[in-house]
Amino acid sequence: MIFGKRERTSHVTAIVRDVVEVVAIIIAGVWAFYVFAYENRIKPSFAKPDVNVTASMQRLGEHNGLVTVGLRLHLDNVGTVKTNFIGIAINVYGERVVPSSPPQQPQQPGTHYVFNGYYRTQNKATVYTLAYITEIGDPSTGTETSLEPGGSAEIQRIFYVPKSRFDLLTMSFDAPYTKYDNVTFPSHLAVTSDGTRVVTPLSSQVDQFNIIPVAALDIR
């Protein structure tokens, strides 16, 4: 009798052990799905696009009364979803720098503060523009500009300005973008009163990227 009880006890123990092992395997599977499927794929897909923009301008030389300027714009997708640009607009402005007479008094600081008491800029003019709509904004363009997560792209251009006409060049960058594929967001290039081209999408599902200025160059 004693031997029979021990045998049944061992059998029950084996069943319990098997059940525990099965439960452990199921839990491990659920955890693996959570980590690899949800954390690495599903959850990142709900994030918004995230793009870093850096830009620079360089004086390259002069010829026939014109100053040669090199422009470089670098885009980095630092987010977890694909970024599809609906359009891009780069505007470069030329200005004269003149002394402020009398010197301006500093204003009370608020959320943004810049003090330039001894100079001011004047005669702002648009000297170069690169602007276009992609096929997400207008399918007829056939132009695509997109970045995969971790991807980057660079735009390089050369333009010319009259020598001694301007002292300072500044660049602005305007580029609405979205993470959605195979969707059209009707857009067009609008022109402001100072000649600036901007991309105007007609949708609330678009993230707007706008930097003024994104780069500057003393061209004297």
Domain boundaries, the chain: 1-46, 51-218
CATH architecture of 51-218: Sandwich (2.60)
Q: How confident is the model at residue 193 (pLDDT cuts 50, 70, 90)?
A: confident
- In the prediction, which pLDDT does 3 show? 47
From the list 166, 151, 155, the residue with the least C-alpha distance to 80 is 151
Tens digit of each residue's pLDDT (9 = 90 or more) over 46-86: 678 889 999 999 999 999 999 999 999 999 999 888 999 99
Q: Considering only 41-45, 63-67, 197-201, which range has the smallest mean pLDDT?
A: 41-45
Element (H, E) at 187: strand 187-191
- In the prediction, which pLDDT does 170 show? 96
Tens digit of each residue's pLDDT (9 = 90 or more) over 114-154: 778 888 888 899 999 999 999 999 999 989 999 999 999 99
Residues 6+ apart with CB under 8 A from 54: 73, 74, 76
